[in-house]
Structure 1
């Protein structure tokens, strides 16, 4: 591996964040969300690093679950979107996958399936996000029907998802909790809390909680929050300077010449670009750490390279370390320069970028 672009993954930080989630709701069981390749961090390595403390794992689909099972993960794996075809149900039953049921088609497929083993089911309730889940008014009948099926193992877990838990000033989360409370049986196992709710909404604590973004050391909030401030970023996205040049005032840099030097400037070229998941829409001034010092991105992001103004540095050389985001430069901050969120920057990082695990 000679190209210096890489994502360094700190597995001790990962475990710290998991343990923080567990400490905030000590009576809950904590299921790490490892969908989308563990938010870009590598689902296999992340799951292996947590396999001695996590009771189960959460993924989006059966393909992600099979990848984990085939590499030795033995815990139950929750399919957060359920199954997409009836043929997946037999596989889910034999592989020990837990299945989300959130619409009538999925419900009927389970009821009519010829299964050798019963399925563990999570029953999705739409409490206000209006994305997935049954309506609260129909949950009682659906629960009764599923509960009587030989294809379903007891107990059924009731679950829902918050739309605005990252907004600490919104009353939406409390309204969703009340809606859920009104329709979920008191005796049923329940799951409500995502990362934001684990950190800031204790009324959302139930038997199961589902940390995702916080697990990777990043705050879901736009403001400081006492619990989120204890998180440790897991990924450091790194590269290096591969070229240096001095340009005169009035000279431009990069495609479309969208940045022009106002003074004689030293420009460092870094070997990372949108082909590596660094956002093309990062604007001039987006911070990059060169030898630990913040320097501004200048010029358009290319497929394989970016250019940075390092005029203010007293010393800089080819081979010097560049950090695109990490513990000293939060991915949320970089995302704010790109009109997006840190979730997107992490999850769209391609396989081209080697993951180096500490």
Structure 2
């Protein structure tokens, strides 16, 4: 069978969750949306269930997948509901959900609810994606209370630039949030992964770690908490062909790389159809039998080429790590002009093999 596969270390996942909770000094919802950023939402949630304070997903479909797999703890719908009819499922499956728009508030008031709801009331503090306007926030909170349909309200917002440690925008958003919630008695949730790791003074009774759970840093610079993360996914394959090429020979589609000397080139069973970034250029790091090397030429749908020239023991059947513990996903993403979030989420076709359960 094709040797490409993703190895998922569930013990590393648990380590990263505990690190997030201890660093934040708060309760933590493990963010497992988008199939746990490509790591497998059900298996990741099962691995964390004994220690997690709850989980966060994007939508009700993702929540129901977890419930059907037996996950019984709190699950927060980060985008709330999209149709008023979903409230019946929210009640049936005991889900928490975000209210970010006035129409959702109207729907709650008009709905027939058999048991009280757990609502996370989202403020647009400056990201300008979703969230209530600060001028509407206090009134929305009071409407939820007076509806008689809400058991608990958590006040929340989301940072736009917390991954920029020298940017004042996060402080500005905190100031907007604090002004909007003045006088309201409720728990708060502001900190995502970069805020957990890099903004320790931001108040948060609940945090929402995402990318850090999977062992990747959201920062483009060294950071103390990032150094303690353990990569959860190792994407690997094998060399399936070796070419001995003289100088001045083109490699791959478009001839984007020309050999500058006699070279040994390994062909690896991995391509953009597996989720490896097509835009990754020559020089993107790989590890071959535990030794550093580099990508050569353009990534194809099913194959890519690597440099074996200075690795005389490497050859047919050699193990190639595309990212993992030797090659950080954030480094691959940086070379490819993207972010580790995207390369994880783009993973497909390769089987996921789990350890540390």
Q: TM-score range by the shorter chain?
A: over 0.9
On the 8 A contact 1:37/1:43 being kept in 2, the answer is: yes
Aligned position for 2:9: 10
Q: Which residue of 2 aligns with 1:94?
A: 92
Report the equivalent of 2:298: 300
Shift in Å, 1:258: 1.2
Q: What is the deviation of 1:88?
A: 0.7
Distance in 2 separating the partners of 1:202 and 1:112: 40
User: In the alignment, which residue of structure 2 is the partner of 1:316?
Assistant: 314
1:173 aligns with 170
- What secondary structure is seen at the aligned counterpart in 2 of 1:316? coil
The residue that corresponds to 2:125 in the other structure is 127
Give the superposition deviation at 1:186: 4.8
Determine the C-alpha separation between the residues in 2 that align with 1:47 and 1:140: 34
CA contact (8 A) 1:243 1:268 kept: yes
Aligned partners of 2:232, 2:297: CA distance in 1, in Å? 29
Give 2:352's aligned residue: 355
Structure 2 SS opposite 1:349: coil
Pairing partner for 1:345 from 317, 328, 343: 343
Match of 1:115 among 109, 113, 116: 113
| Bigger Cα displacement from structure 2, 281-290 vs 44-53 | 281-290
Unmatched tracts of structure 2, length 5 or more: none
- Whether the aligned pair in 1 keeps the contact of 2:308 and 2:315 (CA below 8 Å) is no
- Aligned-residue Cα RMSD (Å) equals 1.1
**Aligned mate of 1:250, from 248, 251, 264:** 248
In the alignment, is the contact (CA less than 8 A) between 1:297 and 1:309 conserved in 2? yes
Unaligned runs of 5+ in 1: none
SS of residue in 2 equivalent to 1:78: strand
Q: Does the CA contact (< 8 Å) of 1:113 and 1:151 recur in 2?
A: no
**Which of residues 237, 256, 266 in structure 2 aligns to 1:268?**
266
CA distance in 2, matches of 1:10, 1:205: 31
How many residues were matched structurally?
354
- Partner of 2:125, secondary structure, is coil
Contact 1:100 1:123 in 2 (8 A): yes
Q: Is the 8 A contact 2:57 2:75 kept in 1?
A: yes
Is 1:159 matched up with 2:156? yes
Instruction: Tell me the TM-score normalized by structure 1.
Output: 0.97
Report the more deviating stretch, 216-225 or 43-52: 216-225
Identify which of 68, 81, 84 aligns with 1:83. 81
Match of 1:241, SS? Answer: strand
Shift >6 Å, 4+ stretches: none
Indicate the residue corresponding to 1:197 in structure 2: 195
